[in-house]
């Protein structure tokens, strides 16, 4: 049983990003970026639009192959693996713009259980007892996670009928269904109203406290970052310009320049 | 997904339908049974194509090719010239053969997506047709081959067997094949729904809606695309065998591009991604030309077959009709007959408790009670 193992594991391995460079035909999206996500911490990656945050996530989840550099999760080198292999190692992510599939919340959450279940075409087609049992067990688990993320009441509703905030939470819940050791959250509260923001922030805090997983967070909402992050990496034009605790980073002159611009730094706007 | 209703109540309509279908041969003549038989065969094939195109979002124009593999595979395996295997074994092997043919194509089917796969599979139809015409020793060439009847434990699914009368009704080939068709269709229904509601089905839906999301959730994209193609080919193979048994003769010209297009029409009319929809579409597309041929003399604007006076024959007329049906369905019910039915059902169920003003779009029953702050359906967003 892989399911409880992931949960009771003492701490996830460190996620180590070393010298990652991504070049798209002349455009340098990431330039020699390095940072380490310590086990069980929340690591925020912030920066102005176009700084390379999402590119960074796409490298971590295997959607992009970097031009140079490595990403390691414990002993595994993620940069060599296909996305589904990375998922199987316990790296789950959400997307900046919601990417749910057709069907109910339950269907989406069950997709999150894909890597943890095994029933293939033949077993499902013939409805072998073990496939039926597996489906039932994972459905129960998915329902549990729906409750945890505040989606319990919508479990059997079509995703298309949910509010924006709820659909963003479906993505979060789906990622959690993978029982990840590392959770990558790409702007989890973007576009939410104040109440939804507070709720999601609380949920992320709870998840981290209860499940002890590492979280990598890309977010523009500084309130959320300051409240949740243990460590922050600031990207600007593909380069990591600052590392540190939220407080340290906030005082960094480079960061202020990147975010607010200075009289001479109009290019950063 | 989880239905609180008791088991029997849920299964009730299904059981009733099954019972009714079993009783039909006692009341219908051979003409209607033949329509039913062709419809069942088409439904099996359409379910297969629905799995590939509707659920996994992969267009295939090569369905006719896999139908041909199934049909000719059976004929060759069970017949002379050929290994002359027991027909039941030949049936199973023909299905596997169609699956293997799909598997051979999987390097393409796993990598190419959507409409591009449609173009790639187009080649299969022409290749298949050419082979059927030229490989005389196996396929019988232009004139095709006659189909050896299926025998199962001494029982023959054809006229040739010993006389059989059940409850005063003589059981000819149509009556016997009807039950074979029903059994094969039941297998299709059971397995396809198991697939769609299980882990593979969800993975395929995810692939269709967002390849990116599917892959980061752990779905092996290429493997699932290939598998969908193989499974779809196997259903096509099964449909091919049943068609061959119903026609009693296989000819190359039947397995043309037009047949592939017919199958696409079935799943579009029925509604993409559902077994019931594919079945409804298959019945519609199959039965319409046969019915119009039969009743041509009573229909306005349609000439009797073979009259050749420049007016529209029943086959053309039915093509126009289902062409029109596709247009109407794409415009007014893009989710096909199946979507139309489930919307109607939801509306009927909702009416008694409360009169909710305005349709709320495709709401399935039971969801309308959830008081969400915002219940308007929003278009799905896609990742870049």
**Which CATH number do you get for residue A69?**
3.40.50.300
Do A113 and A245 belong to one domain?
Answer: no
Residue to test with chain B: of A3, A61, A96, A99, most B Cβ within 10 A: A99
**Residue A42 corresponds to which tokens in the numbers above?**
């929340």
Residue in this structure with the two tokens 């002359």, named with its chain if needed: B84
Q: Is A49 exposed, middle or buried (0-12, 13-18, 19+ CB in 10 A)?
A: exposed
Do A75 and A115 belong to one domain?
Answer: no
Instruction: Tell me if A54 is assigned to some domain.
Output: yes
Whether chain B has a CB inside 8 Å of the CB on A90: the answer is no
Whether chain B has a CB inside 8 Å of the CB on A268: the answer is no
Q: For residue B160, what pLDDT is reported?
A: 62
Do A101 and A171 belong to one domain?
Answer: yes
Tell me which residue of A86, A38, A3 sits closest to A216, measured CA to CA. A38
Do A81 and A106 belong to one domain?
Answer: no
B338 chain-A contacts, CB cut-off 8 A: none
Cα separation, B236 vs B214, in Å, equals 26
Instruction: Tell me if A116 is assigned to some domain.
Output: yes
Taking CA–CA distances from B188, the nearest residue in chain A reads A125
Cα separation, A20 vs A27, in Å, equals 14
Residue B79 is given by DSSP the state S
**Residue B290 corresponds to which tokens in the numbers above?**
């046969």
Instruction: Tell me if A118 is assigned to some domain.
Output: yes
Do A86 and A217 belong to one domain?
Answer: yes
Please state the pTM of the whole predicted model.
0.84
Do A63 and A184 belong to one domain?
Answer: yes
Cα separation, B345 vs B351, in Å, equals 10
Instruction: Tell me if A130 is assigned to some domain.
Output: yes
Do A101 and A86 belong to one domain?
Answer: no
For each successive 10 residues of chain B (384 residues), what is the average pLDDT? 53 83 80 90 93 88 92 89 84 93 88 85 90 84 82 73 67 81 92 90 90 91 91 94 90 88 89 87 87 76 60 76 83 83 81 47 39 36 36
Instruction: Tell me if A28 is assigned to some domain.
Output: yes
Instruction: Tell me if A2 is assigned to some domain.
Output: no
Q: For residue B4, what pLDDT is reported?
A: 45
Question: Looking at the 3D structure of chain A, how many domains does it have?
Answer: 2
Of the three residues A161, A179, A197, the one that is the final residue of a domain is A179
Instruction: Tell me if A1 is assigned to some domain.
Output: no
Compute the count of residue pairs across chains A and B with CB atoms less than 8 Å apart.
158
Do A184 and A265 belong to one domain?
Answer: yes
Whether chain A has a CB inside 8 Å of the CB on B209: the answer is yes
Q: Residues in chain A with pLDDT < 70?
A: 1-11, 260-269
Whether chain A has a CB inside 8 Å of the CB on B307: the answer is no
Do A230 and A269 belong to one domain?
Answer: yes
Do A184 and A262 belong to one domain?
Answer: yes
Q: For residue B17, what pLDDT is reported?
A: 84
| N-terminal to C-terminal alpha carbon distance within chain A | 51
Do A128 and A251 belong to one domain?
Answer: no
For B263-297, give the DSSP string.
Answer: HHHHHHHH-TT-HHHHHHHHHHHHHHHHHHHHTGG
Cα separation, B275 vs B196, in Å, equals 9
Residue in this structure with the two tokens 């599979």, named with its chain if needed: B121
Cβ contact (<8 Å) for A99 and B200? no
A86 chain-B contacts, CB cut-off 8 A: 216
**Residue B311 corresponds to which tokens in the numbers above?**
């007016």
Do A17 and A50 belong to one domain?
Answer: yes
Instruction: Tell me if A5 is assigned to some domain.
Output: no
* Domain of residue A163, residue span: 97-179
């Amino acid at each position: 049983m892989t399911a409880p193992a992931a949960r009771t594991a003492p701490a996830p391995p460190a996620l180590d990003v070393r010298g990652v460079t991504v070049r798209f035909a002349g455009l340098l999206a990431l330039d020699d970026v390095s940072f380490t996500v310590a086990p069980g911490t929340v690591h925020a990656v912030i920066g102005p639009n176009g700084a390379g945050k999402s590119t960074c996530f796409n490298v971590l989840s295997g959607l992009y192959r970097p031009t140079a550099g490595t990403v390691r999760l414990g002993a595994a080198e993620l940069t060599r693996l296909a996305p589904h292999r990375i998922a199987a190692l316990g790296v789950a992510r959400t997307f900046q713009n919601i990417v749910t599939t057709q069907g109910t919340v339950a269907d989406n959450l069950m997709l999150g259980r894909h890597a943890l279940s095994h029933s293939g075409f033949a077993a499902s087609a013939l409805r072998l007892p073990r496939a039926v049992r597996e489906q039932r067990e994972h459905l129960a688990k998915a329902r549990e996670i729906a409750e945890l993320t505040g989606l319990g009441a919508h479990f059997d509703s079509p995703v298309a009928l949910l509010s924006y905030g709820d659909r963003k939470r479906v993505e979060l819940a789906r990622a959690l269904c993978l029982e990840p050791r590392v959770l990558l959250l790409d702007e989890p509260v973007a576009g939410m109203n104040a109440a939804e923001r507070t709720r999601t922030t609380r949920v992320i805090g709870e998840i981290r406290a209860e499940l002890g997983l590492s979280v990598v967070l890309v977010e523009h909402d500084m309130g959320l970052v300051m409240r949740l992050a243990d460590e922050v990496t600031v990207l600007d034009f593909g380069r990591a310009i600052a590392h540190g605790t939220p407080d340290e980073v906030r005082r960094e002159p480079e960061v202020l320049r990147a975010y607010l611009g200075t009289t001479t730094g109009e290019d950063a706007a | 997904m989880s239905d609180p209703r008791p088991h029997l109540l849920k299964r009730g309509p299904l059981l009733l339908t099954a019972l009714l279908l079993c009783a039909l041969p006692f009341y219908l003549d051979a003409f209607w049974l033949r329509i039913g038989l062709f419809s069942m065969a088409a439904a099996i094939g359409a379910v297969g194509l629905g799995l590939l195109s509707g659920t996994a979002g992969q267009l295939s124009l090569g369905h006719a090719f896999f139908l041909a593999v199934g049909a000719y595979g059976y004929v060759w395996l069970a017949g002379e010239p050929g290994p002359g295997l027991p027909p039941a074994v030949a049936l199973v092997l023909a299905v596997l053969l169609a699956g293997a043919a799909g598997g051979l194509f999987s390097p393409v089917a796993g990598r190419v997506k959507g409409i591009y796969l449609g173009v790639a599979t187009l080649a299969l139809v022409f290749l298949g047709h050419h082979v059927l015409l030229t490989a005389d020793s196996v396929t019988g060439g232009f004139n095709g081959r006659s189909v050896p009847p299926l025998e199962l434990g001494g029982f023959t699914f054809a006229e040739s067997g010993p006389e059989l009368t059940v409850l005063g009704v003589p059981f000819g080939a149509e009556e016997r094949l009807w039950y074979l068709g029903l059994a094969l269709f039941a297998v299709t229904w059971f397995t396809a729904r198991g697939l769609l509601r299980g882990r593979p089905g969800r993975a395929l839906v995810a692939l269709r809606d967002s390849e990116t999301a599917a892959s980061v959730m752990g779905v092996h994209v290429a493997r699932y695309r290939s598998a969908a193609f193989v499974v779809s080919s196997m259903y096509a193979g099964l449909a091919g065998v049943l068609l061959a048994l119903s026609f009693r003769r296989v000819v190359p010209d039947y397995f043309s591009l037009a047949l592939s297009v017919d199958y696409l029409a079935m799943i579009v009319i029925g509604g993409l991604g559902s077994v019931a929809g594919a079945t409804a579409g298959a019945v519609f597309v199959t039965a319409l030309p046969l019915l119009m041929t039969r009743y041509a003399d009573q229909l306005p604007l349609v000439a009797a077959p073979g009259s050749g006076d420049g007016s529209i024959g029943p086959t053309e007329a039915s093509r126009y009709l289902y062409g029109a049906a596709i247009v109407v369905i794409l415009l007014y019910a893009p989710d096909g007959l199946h979507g139309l039915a489930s919307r109607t059902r939801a509306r009927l169920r909702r009416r008694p408790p409360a009169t909710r003003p305005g349709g709320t779009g495709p709401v399935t029953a039971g969801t309308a009670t959830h008081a969400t702050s915002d219940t308007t359906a929003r278009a799905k967003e896609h990742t870049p």
